[in-house]
Chains A and B, each alone.
Chain A
Amino acid sequence: MGIEIEKSCVVELSNIAVSNTHGEDSPYFAGWKAYDENPYDEITNPSGVIQMGLAENQVSFDLLEKYLEEHSEATTWGKGSPTSFKENALFQDYHGLHSFRAAMAAFMEQIRGGRAKFDPKRLVITAGATAANELLTFILANPGDALLVPTPYYPGFDRDLRWRTGVKIVPIHCDSSNNFQITPEALEAAYKEAESMNTKVRGVLITNPSNPLGATIQRSVLEHILDFVTRKNIHLVSDEIYSGSVFSPSEFVSVAEILEARNYKDAERVHIVYSLSKDLGLPGFRVGTIYSYNDKVVTTARRMSSFTLISSQTQHLLASMLSDKEFTELYIKTNRERLRKRYEMMIEGLRSIGIECLKGNGGLFCWMNMSPLLEKATREGELELWNEIVHEVKLNISPGCSCHCSEPGWFRVCFANMSENTLHVALERIRNFVDKLRASRF
């Protein structure tokens, strides 16, 4: 062998490794790049790009910080017993700490105002809702099968539901004529579309409240979705990751409540995904759960969760915090209020510029309608406008086409990951941009 060896014989990688189903090459990723290269900072970079494309909740962070300061036993494992430290460090049982599961179940009940009960033994822990959705897809569908997902939907689903699983997404088209609600006709049409492609439909996946709409799904719609999946004998996954971020608690109806009202008839086809990344603003902690009414799904999901467990340290910390009923009640109430305030500030601000948003009632974003400003009512027109907003107005917002919205001109704008000041700055920039745009057209 000589000193210079030919490094031309490259070892092959898998199809998954080289595919782009992870979606990170899609055009709207340029928005993230623009932000990374020139991030806004109130003091050091006031003309930078403001990140409004990340659904992160920072409005109630102070409450968490305060709680942890006052309750240091959450981080110190009781009165500092070395036994409990070491037991915790070694604990890798995929059932998860019982105290943690009990606390999560109780927290989920609290969010739903006690209108639904959750049995801790049905909770499967995962490192985030991303993993939970992927895991469920692996369990409910074979490669080549499909899940029906209403549009517009969270762009990450293209990756989470399809990439490693090989499962397809067939869209359930929703439009602004009825506020993007899911109609029985749209459900049937999506099912037929899958059939025409010779694709087996295994389930419907909804997000409630919806991302990117920022609106809860009405009870009557949930009822007919449940009837639909029962009729077709398929599964229903309800991603309720924003359930604690609904501004007015009475406006959120969980599929769990409907099942309870139906005495759990046919419940074993329903599975709920939850996480603390949005409601509690702790995405770095990687805490997600699957709640299933199907025994086999629970057992299988648990075994599969070996690939995506929550750190025992984190479980312990959160078990302590989430079982503190006084704290969780205060947190949920305050968080809702602050999010509502932000939302209203956003809506009012946009309305005064003449931009309407979809009537929302939860989540960390609003669904903004800029279609009147489009040169062409097409996907290209939307991307052109978006490009201007990212590079000239310097706001990273998410274009509707990245959410597979069938109507061009809609944008998702996040408002909970910045200070109120920054939000005002963003609104000002939009105002200036829109004024200029309207002026140039006349």
Chain B
Amino acid sequence: MTRTRNPDSESESESKPSSSSSSSTGMKLIVPLQGVVQGRGGILLGSLIPCALFYFLQLYLKKRRRSNHNNHSSNPPSPSSSFPELPRTPSRSNLSSRGSITRARLSRLASTISDDDSAYYVGLNRASRDPYHKFSNPDGIIQLGLSDNTLSLDLIGDWMQKWGSGGGDDDLSINGIATYQAFDGVDELKLAMADFMRQVMGRSVHFDTSNMVLTAGATPAIEILSFCLADPGNAFLVPTPYYPGFDRDVRWRPGVDLIPVHCRSADNFNLSMTALEQAYAQARKRGVKVRGILVSNPSNPVGNMLTQDMLYNLIDFAEDKNIHLIVDEVFAGSRYGSEKFVSVAEILDSDSEYIDNRRIHIIYGLSKDLALAGFRVGVIYSFDRNVLAAARKLCRFSSISAPTQRLVTSMLSDKRFIQDYFETNRNRMRQVHDEFVDALSKLGIKCAKSSGGMFCWADMSGLIKPYSEKGELELWEKFMSIAKINITPGSACHCIEPGWFRICFTTMSLEEIPLVIERIRRVVEVCKSSS
């Protein structure tokens, strides 16, 4: 039976509707015919006849399809809108993204990626197609699902206006930066970055440039580390809820699995070592090779910090199991609360004799702490010579653009500016955070205790019905369509308790808080009235 099906359609995620229904139609024909035709040749004929009918049906359908897409315009076809990101254009009469015409197959990975419809990405897309603007689109979707920080962007803008065009001592022409540079970053930037990280993580920590590999953002940094530390099919343990992007960075191309270690609201979503031990043991029982633990500190999406004790526990755990520990500290400088931040680098610095630092790796970048997401500046910091050697070779696929390296070096070297930025930003973040969390609590929505990051981790479990992922996603949809705000549902972060949402507050000004609260109130009222 399957011999007559077009083999290319088998692995297409969007297969022709006709082929799947034809095969089942064919099956339905065989059985009654077998009963009808008796005798020696009965079963044979009973199978052959429907096969033949089926074959001719397929031929007919193929011919019809072929004649449909012989109408071509001479302009290059514009991409279709079958995928959310691409706008529909009138000229696309011929090409489509449906499997019927795309005969040359794509890889399994490509299917995984194009099928990825997590709420995180869907939300971002919908918001970007109807973006709120105070004057030109006041009813648009307010984007609170992207952890960007615009609170202190004016300071960045001022600095760039003054120094970003060659006005200073540095020569910002292209002399010396056009040619091939070291793929893992130029020395000047590494030096500036080492010093910047020292300021951010804690004044006592010393960062060595020879332990640094610079990458085009923290996103490739995580991916490259995953490629270095684990083989496809291996796994990292990761406390939940976690940054949805990890699913992309660790799973897609490195093929490394993420095993959730569930954290509970009762613990303010702090990691429990018991849960970690259990998750590890269960993985081993299933025959999965755990290669490391991946944590973010400050945590995304909760915004809490790992205590010094917890860091020591994690290091001991990693040592005991002989696995790696990756700490993503991209939000290290985005702190507003009272909890103390301890970088794992600080512990390694002070306890270097007792701890084998080769198993510990730090991820950093400038997208959050300096709001330079567009410039693509990330860091892998590791003490393992072999990891560094491999990462250096791999970052040729993700290097920082040379003119940007020069500009950023200049910015990071302006110590006074950096200090000013951090002080101002911290105050503004604290103000907006405190006021927003307060306003939310007046609506009956409590947030987890957080001291860092750019978001509140809000408990909306009282508003969902049923108390499940389904209920949570329905609430998410209400926020999108009624309140017109994009927030991230906890299920996208693999949170085990339904009803929690990540709301980024760093793209709101103080003045905009009432507007956002008002929109949230709309949803709260709808939920209350329907219960």
Contact = CB atoms under 8 A, between A and B. Distances in A.
Given A139-B110, A300-B106, 16 more contacts: A13-B228, A14-B231, A16-B227, A68-B173, A85-B161, A86-B157, A89-B371, A92-B373, A117-B75, A119-B76, A141-B107, A235-B104, A267-B95, A286-B402, A311-B216, A313-B404
Contact of A122 (B76, B108, B249, B396): B76
List the 5 closest pairs (A to B, CB-CB), nearest first: A312-B374, A82-B157, A284-B402, A295-B97, A86-B157
Interface stretch (A124-132, A216-224, A355-363, A395-403): A124-132
Given A82-B160, A283-B180, A134 B397 contact: yes
A14 B229 contact: yes
14 contacts: A7-B358, A65-B175, A92-B376, A95-B85, A127-B376, A131-B398, A140-B106, A142-B108, A234-B104, A268-B101, A285-B403, A294-B97, A299-B85, A302-B85
Interface in B82-102: 82-83, 85-87, 94-97, 101-102
B374 A264 contact: no
Contacts of A267: 77, 95
A308 B114 contact: no
Interface stretch (A54-62, A386-394, A407-415, A430-438): A54-62
B373 A90 contact: yes
Interface stretch (B148-156, B458-466, B470-478, B493-501): B148-156
Given A295-B86, A309-B216, A314-B403, A13 B386 contact: yes
Contacts of A17: 227-229, 386-387, 390
Contact of B401 (A64, A139, A286): A286
Contacts of A287: 401
A85 to B, nearest CB: 4
Contacts of B181: 284
A269 B104 CA distance: 6
B10 to A, nearest CB: 13
B354 A138 contact: no
Interface in B398-447: 398-404, 407
Interface string A265-290: 10111000000000001111111000
Contact of A22 (B83, B110, B393): B393
A296 B404 contact: no
Contact of B148 (A81, A90, A284): A90
A41 interface: no
A95 B179 CA distance: 26
Interface of B: 8, 72, 74-80, 82-83, 85-87, 94-97, 101-110, 113-114, 116, 128, 148, 150, 153-154, 156-158, 160-161, 164-166, 172-175, 177-181, 216-217, 219-220, 223, 227-232, 234, 248-249, 252-253, 291, 322-324, 353-354, 356, 358-359, 367, 371-376, 384, 386-387, 390, 393-394, 396-404, 407
Most buried by A among B76, B156, B166, B400: B76
Given A127-B398, A139-B107, A299-B85, A91 B373 contact: yes
Given A86-B153, A269-B104, A314-B403, A130 B94 contact: no
B220 A118 contact: no
A314 B376 CA distance: 11
A304 interface: yes
B407 A313 contact: yes
A260 interface: yes
A61 B174 CA distance: 9
A22 B394 CA distance: 9
Interface of B, helix, strand, loop or mixed by DSSP: loop
A297 interface: yes
Contacts of A234: 104
Contacts of B398: 127, 131, 307-308
Nearest to B112: A300
B124 to A, nearest CB: 10
B156 A14 contact: no
A307 B165 contact: no
Contacts of B114: 296, 299-300, 303
B161 to A, nearest CB: 5
Nearest to A285: B401
A89 B156 contact: yes
Interface string A1-26: 10101010111111111100010100
A299 B103 CA distance: 17
Contact of A11 (B106, B156, B248, B384): B384
Contacts of B234: 14
Interface residues of A, number: 101
A202 B105 CA distance: 8
Contact of B353 (A3, A65, A281, A300): A3
A284 B178 contact: yes
B220 A308 contact: yes
Interface stretch (A72-80, A190-198, A341-349): A72-80
Interface string A221-233: 0000000010001
B396 A313 contact: no
Interface in A80-102: 80-83, 85-86, 88-93, 95
Contacts of A138: 107, 109-110, 253
Nearest to A298: B79
Given A76-B164, A296-B97, A282 B178 contact: yes
Contacts of A65: 173-175
Contacts of A307: 216-217, 219-220, 223, 249, 253, 397-398
A284 B180 contact: yes
B280 to A, nearest CB: 15
Given A285-B178, A300-B114, A308-B397, A268 B102 contact: yes
A68 B181 CA distance: 20
A159 B120 CA distance: 33
Nearest to A312: B374
Given A64-B174, A75-B172, A121-B79, A264 B401 contact: no
A3 B248 CA distance: 41
Given A11-B323, A76-B164, A139-B109, A285 B402 contact: yes
Given A285-B178, A296-B110, A306-B219, A86 B96 contact: no
A370 interface: no
A69 interface: yes
B373 A85 contact: no
A198 B109 CA distance: 21
B230 A18 contact: no
A300 B82 CA distance: 13
B222 to A, nearest CB: 9
B19 to A, nearest CB: 17
A18 B354 CA distance: 27
A280 to B, nearest CB: 9
Contact of B354 (A1, A117, A233): A1
B158 A311 contact: no
Interface string A410-422: 0000000000000
